[in-house]
Amino acid sequence: MRRSSFDRTGGVSVLFCCVTKTNLLCLHNFVCVPSDIPYFQSLPGTNIPLSSPIHLAVGTPTTPPSKAVGKLPALGWVHCRAHNRALYISEEKILAAARSFVSLGLREAGYEYVNIGACLFLPLFGHEQIPDPVKFSNGIKAVVDDVHSLDLKIGIYRRVDAGTETCARYPGSLGYEAIDAATWASWDIDYLKYGNTTRMTDYRTTTNDLSRNDDCLIWGSIASAAIADNDPPMQYVLCIWRDARVWTWGARVGHSWRMAGDSTPTWEYIKLIMSINVAHLSSVDFFSHNGMDMMEVGNGNLTIEEERTHFAVWAFMKSLVLLGTDLAAISPEEVEIVTNAELIAFLQDTTEANPASHSSIPAGRPRVYTYSL
């Protein structure tokens, strides 16, 4: 078995292996970090340890997510990092990314979701989402139809934001969930990322002061119920940045949820999210996925070894894999990383839901993640 050292940051080497009855298949060598980084060791804004029980509106009615989609972690792309978040998004760029799925072999490898991030609507506070006619001159439905014609799916990002405004000063969804759901259905949207950054101080229908999004189960449930009958069925992703121990209840209303803050194309962030997520791998199952945010492969600040590690960890922890780079600029070596057939097969296994696991190890020793096939 060949081993190599990619660590230039003081982390420890880690080996991911799949064990069969006849041989040991080594898929990747990579680096990781100890899991005791002091990041969110207590609930945000409190000194309450994450191990403490949390009481989330026990009587809150929930509508479970569709079982027609979301069994496996999503494979796709999102525009935010690729095009400077919202500033340069347009229908041309979305369609160019969709065509790149085909030309780069991403579609053949299993990638299917082309996702539009925030700020695609006019900043008008009303009852309906109106696409920006400058960014989407032919409207959202035309873009959706073109993406579908390539045998791909398309997603959208919407914020709750207490019905007031998002962090980019766009209108929020709270109070308009049914109208929004009908709009998405009319456009044939396949995937919804639903997030929150602000809330009205009087919108408190549950006693849960353990996070800044203390009503997240409620607004997540409202949206889940609103899209329950949408056709096509929507994969539903909650984005509350790890608040309220979302991994303990997220599967009641959605298919997946974010495990930490927004990603950055730095090795420090990659190490950090590995360390955070490893404590919550028991929450992973079919229709129940911890999302480690977008992939930073191709965004310039990682070595090729770090990019290889980045993808391998997202795959063996069975996170969503959403590429966040400009597909027109991605290198052949990076395409090879994100289309690794063995890792994608593990990530998309329809018969085994569990991620790879590791055993307790002495301090300073390599951590080995294994999975029995």
Contact 356, 369 (CB under 8 A): yes
Q: 318-335 burial, b if ≥16 CB within 10 A, otherwise e?
A: bbbbbbbbbbeebeeebb
Tell me, what's the pLDDT at 23? 32
- pLDDT string in tens for the chain (373-residue length): 333 333 333 343 444 554 333 333 333 333 333 333 222 232 233 333 333 333 333 344 568 899 999 999 999 999 876 655 555 788 999 999 999 999 999 999 999 999 997 667 776 655 678 888 888 999 999 999 999 999 999 999 887 654 455 555 566 787 788 989 999 999 999 999 987 755 544 444 444 443 444 567 777 888 899 999 999 999 999 987 656 778 888 898 999 999 887 888 999 999 999 888 998 999 999 999 999 999 999 998 899 999 999 999 999 999 999 999 999 999 999 999 999 999 999 999 999 999 998 776 677 777 777 776 6
Tell me, what's the pLDDT at 122? 73
Which region, left, alpha or beta, applies to residue 346 given φ > 0 means left and ψ of -120 to 50 means alpha?
Answer: alpha
Which is nearest to 356 in space by CA: 54, 5, 25? 25
Which is nearest to 65 in space by CA: 181, 210, 195, 233? 233
Report d(CA 195, CA 201) in Å as an integer.
17
Report d(CA 157, CA 80) in Å as an integer.
10
Structural domains of the chain, with CATH: 40-355 (3.20.20.70)
Longest dimension (CA), the chain: 62
Tell me, what's the pLDDT at 260? 81
- What separation, in Å, do the N-terminal and C-terminal C-alpha atoms of the chain show? 18
Tell me, what's the pLDDT at 286? 98
Q: Angle at Cα 274 formed by Cα 269 and Cα 279, nearest 5°?
A: 135
Contact 214, 246 (CB under 8 A): no
Report d(CA 297, CA 78) in Å as an integer.
13
Cβ neighbours for 56, distance < 8 A, ≥ 6 positions apart: 206, 208, 217, 244, 248, 249
DSSP state letters, 201-228: TT---S---SSS-TTHHHHHHHHHHHTT
Dihedral sign (CA 320, 326, 327, 330):
negative
Using alpha carbons, list the distances in angstroms from residue 179 to 22, 172, 186, 234: 56, 12, 11, 15
This prediction has a pTM of 0.80
Q: Which helix (H) or strand (E) holds 371?
A: strand 367-372
Which is nearest to 289 in space by CA: 237, 244, 243, 221? 237
Report d(CA 316, CA 287) in Å as an integer.
16
Count of C-beta atoms within a 10 Å radius of residue 368: 15
Report d(CA 28, CA 309) in Å as an integer.
8
